[in-house]
Amino acid sequence: MPRRRPQISPERRRCVFLLLAALFAIIPALPPTPPDAAAAGSGTAPVCIARYSGPVVPVTARYCERVIRYAERSEASACIIELNTPGGLYSTTQDLVTTILNARVPVVVFVGPAGGWAGSAGTFITICAHVAAMAPGSRVGAAHPVGIGPADGRQNVPGEKITEDAAAWIRSIAQMRGRNARAAELAVRESKSYSDEEALKLNLIDLRVRDMKDLLSKLDGRTVTLSGGAKATLRTRNAPVQEVPMNAVEKFLLALSKPDLAYILMTIGMAGLMVEIYHPGLIFPGVAGGISLLLGLYSLGTLDAYWGGILLILLAFGLFIAEAFVPSHGVLGAGGIVSFIIGSLILFSNGPPGLGVSISLIVTTALIFAALLALLVTAVVRGQQRAVITGMEGLIGRTAVARTDLNPTGTVFVAGEIWNASAEHNYVKAGEEVVITGVEGLRLKVQKKT
């Protein structure tokens, strides 16, 4: 007899599908292979290039560290980071600077393209590089850290501590790289900012170049000191160039690191949970809302959002939910709107430049919730004013379906229950719809629906 092929259960098929999906999601995150095999085998050390434009957030440090580690494994002549940033998180900047200072390959930071910016956190990253270069029209500086607490002189103790620490740190980095420690310190203490020409004149950077090609030409032959005291001579003029872009996972995390998107995800998440609570059993709004809420909280956490603002937003949604169950006639909803707006405004109040939720987005979201709450309150008030009909009297006027022939008695199905019923005028066949006209004890009076 022919053997039957084993059947794969739907559960196993689903597991295989999820496993393949996870595999395809992980593959883009794997370290890249050398894109130019011929160059790798030619004996000429390549130059690895990373390009980044945007705020300095945790994924920035991960990306640059990955490129530096790849350059070390490839025994590259240099690792060039083309940087254009308004600033970013102080803790992330520390991680990235530490990686550059301890790199086993020369790291070049190029503030570009023309008109680029190395503000705040970008100043530390630029000064810590083995070679620092800037394009025409670019600037560096304005690195005063954002403090915590009142800004009234001596009472701002936490802010003073952060400033003192940042000033000492940038002095130490500048002295280590043989750069102007005084000018670097002024960028922290007084938010001084320097043009590319001023930075070169003050010895904050090493080169002023037009573009990447000009940079590779001028880097050739320079000798730098790596971590541990080892010397390295850059050979970049005719070296093969390897661009190392962000992979899919890094791009996804970078997208989540945008304050506006994080704010929208958190708002959608709470709205989805509200819908699920208002209408239990819909499932999709609850699942989508839970995922969005967790992604939003992750993003806000990586961006060092102020927890006071997050708690105020969560309180606002709690008041929105309570409005549907407590007859406050809009008082709880109004309090929720106020809490939501205040929490949104202070969400990034202590954040660095370049990070924050746009005011237009806050206003638009608040107006949408205010309109939805107005509809909710109107519906609740109308429901409270409507006469309450309960018990069997509430069945009068409803449509039922005959389960058996009514000649004149039989059974009907209504409101999830089977009732005894009698037809008033016409003979009713099983399956026909009838209208309930009255109740006599435990028997319904019905007539055929016209």
Q: Which domains does the chain have, with CATH numbers?
A: 44-249 (3.90.226.10), 258-385 (no CATH), 391-448 (2.40.50.140)
User: In this predicted model, what pLDDT tens digit does every residue of 56-71 receive, in sequence order?
Assistant: 989 999 999 999 999 9
Distance CA 318, CA 332 (A): 9
Query: Is the predicted pLDDT of residue 2 greater than 70, yes or no?
Result: no
Provide the percentage of residues in the chain whose pLDDT is more than 70: 82
User: In this predicted model, what pLDDT tens digit does every residue of 124-169 receive, in sequence order?
Assistant: 999 999 999 999 999 999 888 764 333 344 444 456 888 898 999 9
pLDDT at 334: 86
pLDDT at 297: 86
| Under 8 Å between Cβ of 253 and 60 | no
Provide the percentage of residues in the chain whose pLDDT is more than 90: 39
State both tokens at 94.
Answer: 């520390």
- Look at phi and psi of residue 228 and say left if phi exceeds 0, alpha if psi is from -120 to 50, else beta: left
Residue 32 exposed, middle or buried by CB count within 10 Å (0-12, 13-18, 19+): middle
Count of CB atoms within 10 A of residue 379's CB? 11
pLDDT at 25: 44
| Under 8 Å between Cβ of 220 and 237 | yes
User: In this predicted model, what pLDDT tens digit does every residue of 227-248 receive, in sequence order?
Assistant: 888 899 999 988 999 999 999 9
pLDDT at 307: 86
Phi first, then psi, for residue 425 (nearest 5°) are -125, -55
Query: Is the predicted pLDDT of residue 82 greater than 70, yes or no?
Result: yes
Diameter over CA atoms, the chain = 107
pLDDT at 27: 41
| Under 8 Å between Cβ of 124 and 143 | yes
Given pLDDT bands bounded at 50, 70 and 90, which one contains residue 176?
A: very high
Distance CA 171, CA 174 (A): 5
Identify the residue with better confidence: 106 or 306.
106
User: In this predicted model, what pLDDT tens digit does every residue of 272-327 receive, in sequence order?
Assistant: 888 888 777 778 888 998 999 899 888 888 888 888 888 999 899 888 888 777 76
pLDDT at 158: 54
pLDDT at 93: 92
Query: Is the predicted pLDDT of residue 268 greater than 80, yes or no?
Result: yes
Angle CA 26–31–35, to nearest 5: 120
Task: State how far the alpha carbon of 431 is from the alpha carbons of 1, 102, 412, 419, 425, in Å.
Answer: 49, 81, 9, 14, 17
Query: Is the predicted pLDDT of residue 104 greater than 90, yes or no?
Result: yes
Q: What is the mean pLDDT of the chain?
A: 82
User: In this predicted model, what pLDDT tens digit does every residue of 112-126 receive, in sequence order?
Assistant: 998 899 998 999 999
The arithmetic mean of pLDDT across residues 101-120, rounded, is: 93
Alpha helices in 196-237 (DSSP H): 196-201, 212-219
User: In this predicted model, what pLDDT tens digit does every residue of 15-35 receive, in sequence order?
Assistant: 444 444 444 444 444 444 444
Task: State how far the alpha carbon of 138 is from the alpha carbons of 113, 114, 134, 197, in Å.
Answer: 8, 6, 6, 9
pTM, whole model, 2 decimals?
0.68
> Burial letters for 114-137: b for 16+ Cβ neighbours within 10 Å, e otherwise?
eebbbbbbbbbbbbbbbbbbbbbe
Phi first, then psi, for residue 300 (nearest 5°) are -65, -35
Identify the residue with better confidence: 389 or 220.
220
